[in-house]
Amino acid sequence: MEDNIRLLLNNISVVYSDVIQVLKGVSLTIRKGQVVSLLGSNGAGKTTTLKAISGLLKPENGKVTEGSVEYDGKPVQNLSPEEITRKGIIQVLEGRQEFKYLSVEENLRVGTATRWGKPYQEDLAMVYSYFPALLARKKALAGYCSGGELQMLVIGRALMAHPRLLLLDEPSLGLAPLLVKEIFQIIRRINEEQGTTLLVVEQNANMALQIAHYGYVMENGKIVLESDAGELRKNPDVKEFYLGTAASGALKTYKNVKSYKRRKRWL
């Protein structure tokens, strides 16, 4: 085991209710201080991969049936979400689940639950420095926040927990393009300034690969492609199937979708 490996998924398979297999022999490596992007279409198994890491399979009657999930060299597969959270692995769920009857600042303070009683004012100042929009609305009820403000809120709440590995599930979902760009720029800053290791699950391949050091492509519960982020952005298959352009750089049109989906070389 290399000292700089934060997380290692070694050939894991995931089954729900002892019947439904979602992941089939998935392996990936995340090194300390990296941003890693996991790309793929709907239903590819990306969110299940995150839940296998964070322990959230357990409440959904799912489990890792084969392989191992190693965090800092120690196995964590099938531990409870509480145990995994205390180790410093924090997942930001898709859908921006806020406590809508608490204020923005009260929501942020929920993030300190794993280290209750310790000072948090410096952490609040840090979160507000990344998300000034939250500072302006810190006394407002979270239920009245916009989609963009809620995305900032749930990422900020995760930062309050001092994550060593931060798992982000579809941070761009439902947001306007300008806001998506802002969110991803902040994610990059968090990585550079806080040294936080990140695994970002995302359908917006273009934005995800701009901030990532390394990327994986998942289809049908398997990793089908992996490389440095820069190389993936140049890859003709990734260009065609995930960036919406042909190898020449020309935009693909909807009428070509059926023909080019049949040409996926890894399926």
Please tell me the distance from the alpha carbon of residue 61 to that of residue 35, in angstroms, as a whole number: 29
Return the CA Rg of the chain: 19
Burial 7-23 (b: 16+ CB within 10 A, else e): bbbbebbbbeeeeeebb
Q: What is the pLDDT along the chain (267 residues), one digit of tens a residue?
A: 467 999 999 999 999 999 999 999 999 999 999 999 999 988 899 999 999 999 999 889 999 999 999 999 999 999 999 999 999 999 998 877 778 889 999 999 998 877 766 678 899 999 999 999 999 999 999 988 898 999 999 999 999 999 999 999 999 888 889 999 999 999 999 999 999 999 999 888 899 999 999 999 999 999 999 999 999 999 888 888 887 665 555 555 444 444 444 455 555
Helix 177-194 and helix 147-159: axis angle, to 10°? Answer: 10
The pLDDT of residue 1:
47
- Dig out the tokens for 155 from the structure: 């990422």
Q: Tell me the domains of the chain and their CATH numbers.
A: 1-88+164-233 (3.40.50.300), 96-162 (no CATH)
pLDDT of 250:
54
The residue behind tokens 């297999």 is 21
Cα–Cα distances (Å) from 186 to 96, 128, 158, in that order, read: 17, 12, 14
Give the pLDDT of residue 260: 42
**pLDDT given for residue 203 in this prediction:** 84
Tokens 């959230």, residue located: 56
The model's pTM is: 0.88
- Whether the CB-CB separation of 209 and 35 falls below 8 Å is answered with no
